[in-house]
Each structure stands twice: as C-alpha cells, then as structure tokens.
Amino acid sequence: MLISLHDNYQRRIAHIDNALPKAMHYNDDKWNRNLAYGTGLFDFTIDRQDLEIESQLVVGNYISFRYNSRDYMFTILRSEKSSDDNKIIVHSEYLSLGLLKSTQDPLDPSQSHTLEWYLTQSGILVNSGIKLGINEVPSLVRKIKIDGEQTSLQRLTSFATNFGTEIEYVTTLNRDGTLKSLVVNFYKKFDGINQGVGTNRQDLTLSYGKNVSGIKQTTDITDFFSMITPTGKDGLTITSLDRTEYDDDGDVLFFTRPGQSSIYAPQSAQRFPSRLIRTNNDYTDHKYSADGTSDQNTLYTLALNELKKYCDPSIVYDVTGFYDLNIGDTVKIFDASFNPPLMLQARVAEQTISFSNPSNNKTVFGNIIALESRASQALTGRLKELVDQATPYR
C-alpha cells in the first residue's frame, strides 16, 4: 500500500511504500474504522533513517492512501520518537482538525426543522468545507435541543442519531494530493429493509476454514437492563409523556405512562426477569443521566436509544480473516461448527486492517439476523437458542 505524506497545506510531499525496495517502509500499521461514527484511526511505525521523511511526519500534517477505489486523508494528531529503538510512531485520525476539534455551541431551536436546516444553521458545512451529499431523510423534521458544547464531529453524529440515520464521510483528492471534496452522507438507519451505510454483498458468504480463519461468537447479558429511568438537567424527568412503541406483530416493545419516570421493555423483562420468583414487576432498572438535556422529548429519545442497546443480549461475531468488505456491508456468515450449521446475515460494524501484516486483520459484525435454511427449522431458531442459553433461569 502506497501511503502519501502531505504538508499542512495538504500538498503531497513524499511517499512511503513497502512494495518498493528503496522506499521508506512502515510497519505495525493498524487502521481502525467503525460504523457508528463514520471515522477511523490510522497508526504506523517507521525507522528513523531518513531525516527528510522524519521532518514531514509532524503533527498537523496529513497522510493519505487509496483503498477500494476511495481516497482517505488523515490528520496527524500525535507522533512519538524514541532514541532507544530509533523509531517514530505516528497516530492519525480520519478527517480534518476543523471537524475533530472545533466547538459547536448549545442548540435550542424554537421549532422542528429538517436535517439540512440544522447543517446550515450550525455553520459546519461552511466552516469545515463539507458538502451535503446523500440525504435520505430530506423532508423529516425534528426539534433537537443540545445544551452542552460539542465538537463539529460530535454534533454531526448527534444530528444523525436524532434523524434515525447512519453517517458516512467521503473524501476525494486532487492529483496533487490536496483535498478536492469532503462529502457527508446520511442514510436511513439499517432495519432489514433500508441498507444504511455500505452494500448488501449477496455475492459473498464467509465460511470458517475457507475465507475465514477464525470466528468467535460472544453472547453477553452483563450490561442487560429492561427498564431505564432517565434524568436530565436540573432533575428533568419524562413523567408527563405517554409513549408506546410496537414491534412488527403489533405487540408492545417499549412504553412509558404519565406519572412514570421510566421507559419499560416488557418483552425483555419477560425473557430475562429480575427476580428468581416471578412477579409483575420483573424489570431490571438502569439509571440514566443526561445532564446536558433540558427537553423532555429529547431526554425520552436518548433514553429509548440507550434501552434499545441493552434490553437484548449482545451477540457479537469477531471474524478473523481478509476479504474485500467495507464498513456497513451486509454479508452471510456460515459456521458448520454449530449443530445444526448456523447461517447468519450480519453487517460490518468495525474493522481493523493492517496493510503490512494482513494476518492481523479483524472484523466485528453487528445487526445479526438468523436466516432460513432448508436443512432444518432449528436453524432459524438457533439465534434464539443462543439468547436463551444466556438466561440464568426459566
């Protein structure tokens, strides 16, 4: 992989490339990227044998590379030099300092607005040089109140969360290495119908022993709770709200009633009761603090999102191997070690990529769904079985 070095004006000034014998080489490289924030970190190490290269790997400068037909530019935030091992360790983060460090003031609009309105009024698009690309919720309006300060990157993530979207940043470079464009896309959040970020890779099935060298499945209810009691600024609660959320079958998933300060997940409480002796109050409570929130509806939304994260067991697949996938891509995973064999649909939630040592590549999958199979009806129930195994009592 060719890695370009840029000065603080983004002009390309040098290269490091392990494929060229006479070029400066890098090692211990690790590119971490995630779906939740649309960003990533890139770290690498070089030997201190070229003073010119060393002088260019300074904080505030940039590095870039091209991967899967896309440009990625990182800002060098920290570099470490040691006389003991004669090495330089570089730590960089995807996107610009303006997004990573500039501060956004608290937000309190008088009425609901579209996503584009919030982007324009915040000044992020103008001040950071970002263009709005894909917007899959152009007519949706929200009243978003944010009491505390945030970085521009955090504010964009907050906008995405409040509008039920996933966020993606796309950089394009000019021939001289300077930034041509930085585009932010907002996709409807993945729900089995909408894809969100990434592509549905129906052409690819990951199988243990074939294109996957290791699959680790973790089912965990350590952080489980079925009821959340949120508190906002100055003791704000949700006691005046009356809300009900339903599943696809019309059954109640979540609810809160006037006079109650909590949101309840009744189906989760039934599966994972809080008491050894079952009662009508089998909820496991979690206290949630949002000190910067002074709006009841915003407090409810934040608390509900938190409850959704933890009211079901966490089932995560860590897959070791190298394959051509991007963040958000949906694939099938086949694991014959289960009886019956397990076929899942899952999305790439996190990736660790090493160009110099692909054996260190790792992928974390989320949005796990059990798929139908002609082999046995038990196959589609296997995911439920994994969840039930985490239940300490019936």
Among residues of the chain, what percentage have pLDDT more than 70? Answer: 89
- Asked whether 16 and 355 are in contact (CB, 8 A), the reply is no
154 — phi, psi (to 5°)? Answer: -65, -40
pLDDT one-digit tens code per residue, 70-89:
999 999 999 998 777 788 99
Q: What is the pLDDT of residue 279?
A: 56
Token representation of residue 21: 């014998």
- Asked whether 13 and 56 are in contact (CB, 8 A), the reply is yes
Token look-up 């330089």 returns 88
- Asked whether 315 and 389 are in contact (CB, 8 A), the reply is no
Q: What is the pLDDT of residue 380?
A: 44
**Alpha-carbon distance values, 171 to 131, 156, 180, 196, 291 (Å):** 10, 16, 8, 19, 35
pLDDT one-digit tens code per residue, 167-202:
999 999 998 889 999 999 999 999 888 999 999 998
- Asked whether 219 and 168 are in contact (CB, 8 A), the reply is no
- Give yes or no for residue 392 having a pLDDT over 50: no
CATH number, domain 99-188: 3.55.50
pLDDT band at 374 (very low <50, low <70, confident <90, very high): very low
∠ Cα 260 263 268 (to 5°): 135
Q: What is the pLDDT of residue 384?
A: 54
**What is the mean pLDDT of the segment spanning 260-289?**
84
For 49, the 3-state DSSP assignment is coil
- Rounded distance between C-alpha atoms, residue 290 and residue 271, angstroms: 28
Average pLDDT, rounded, for the chain: 86
**What is the mean pLDDT of the segment spanning 351-369?**
87
For 334, the 3-state DSSP assignment is strand
- Rounded distance between C-alpha atoms, residue 63 and residue 41, angstroms: 12
∠ Cα 201 181 156 (to 5°): 75
Q: Which CATH number fits domain 200-220+314-389: 3.40.50, 2.40.10, 2.40.50, 3.20.20?
A: 2.40.10
